[in-house]
Structure 1
């Protein structure tokens, strides 16, 4: 029988297969590294995109916050202006009322009586004055009752005056001020 040496051929085949295995292994490692690099790059780009969106949202939120503060300031200023306008309108509306109240105080004042102090708190007018007699004080109270601008006169104190006003009675009186309803003209 002939002697055939198959070892070098097997060794060459084994070396070739080992070389193919190394090439496939290196290819797989390179492909895995490439895929890992691509995946990592994609994730980094997605993270960067999300961070840019978050930054945009934060910027927009800060702009909206500043606009909200500006709107609140404008609303506060508007409310202050409206309050001032209401005060001015109230003053404009009450200006003739005050004149009428003083006019009515003079109209109700009987002869032989004068006021020394007037103070108004809310709708109540506190009056201090001097009268020649108690009947003049009674006449003043009746006139207040009859007046459309005053009601509920309340006499709190009557005393004899001292010093230069001897013979006079000093009195303290309070009366509520009211604004009468405007008269409706007939035929309209």
Structure 2
């Protein structure tokens, strides 16, 4: 009977399995290395993208900060311009008020009264003058209280000076200034504003007269 020796075939099969194992092991190692490099490349790309985004955001933030600085400068300039405008408007209003005020001072002066000094302190005027009689001073105060630009006259003094009957009484009073739109605080029953008599001096003449007398 013939016999078959299977040892060489089994040895060859074992060697083939070993070769297959090492081949699969090498392929797995190569795949792992490739995957590691791919992951590293992907992470590098992510880091670069994030860096680019950060740089872009930093640039935008700097631009916004620059714009905010410009806005603050514009607001500061605007505030200064508004303050100057307000000052100019106040000066114009004050100049207009002074013109009306001197006209009103002249208009309210009755016959027998002459002013010698006018001083302004804030929203009040200190007026000094001479009159023929105390009644003329009272009439002058009533005229001031009925004025659109003055109110609340207060007599400070009245006394006889010298022998000149035309300028016998020397007086001093204070009166508060107001705008025409302010409510009139004069006492009820204040007489109507007297009409300017013929030949009444102008505001410039009254100022000149007050300056020369003082």
TM-score range, shorter-chain basis?
A: 0.7 to 0.9
The yes-or-no answer on 1:116 pairing with 2:120 is no
Task: Output the TM-score relative to the length of structure 2.
Answer: 0.66
1:108-187 equivalence runs, <5 A: 108-110=108-110, 111-121=112-122, 124-131=123-130, 134-155=134-155, 157-158=156-157, 169-179=170-180
1:96-115 equivalence runs, <5 A: 96-110=96-110, 111-115=112-116
Shift of 1:154: 2.8
Q: Larger relative contact order (C-alpha < 8 A, sep ≥ 6)?
A: 2
How many residues are aligned here? 174
The farther-off stretch of 127-136 and 24-33 is 127-136
The farther-off stretch of 146-155 and 64-73 is 146-155
Q: 1:120 to 1:178 in 2, by over 3 A?
A: farther
Asked if structure 2 preserves the Cα contact closer than 8 Å seen for 1:112 and 1:131, the reply is yes
Shift of 1:21: 0.5
Shift of 1:116: 3.5
In structure 2, distance between residues paired with 1:19 and 1:35? 24
In structure 2, distance between residues paired with 1:35 and 1:178? 89
Residue number in structure 2 paired with 1:35: 35
**Over the residues paired in the alignment, what is the CA RMSD in angstroms?**
3.1
Superimposed CA distance per residue, residues 68-93 of structure 1 (whole angstroms, 9 cap, x where no aligned partner): 22123213312321332243234334
Task: Output the TM-score relative to the length of structure 1.
Answer: 0.73
Q: 1:139 to 1:151 in 2, by over 3 A?
A: same
In structure 1, distance between residues paired with 2:146 and 2:59? 72
For structure 2, the 5+ residue unaligned runs are 162-167, 182-214
Superimposed CA distance per residue, residues 25-63 of structure 1 (whole angstroms, 9 cap, x where no aligned partner): 011111111012112211220221122012101211220
Residue number in structure 2 paired with 1:56: 56
Residue number in structure 1 paired with 2:87: 87
In structure 1, distance between residues paired with 2:175 and 2:160? 19
Shift of 1:24: 1.0
For structure 1, the 5+ residue unaligned runs are 181-188
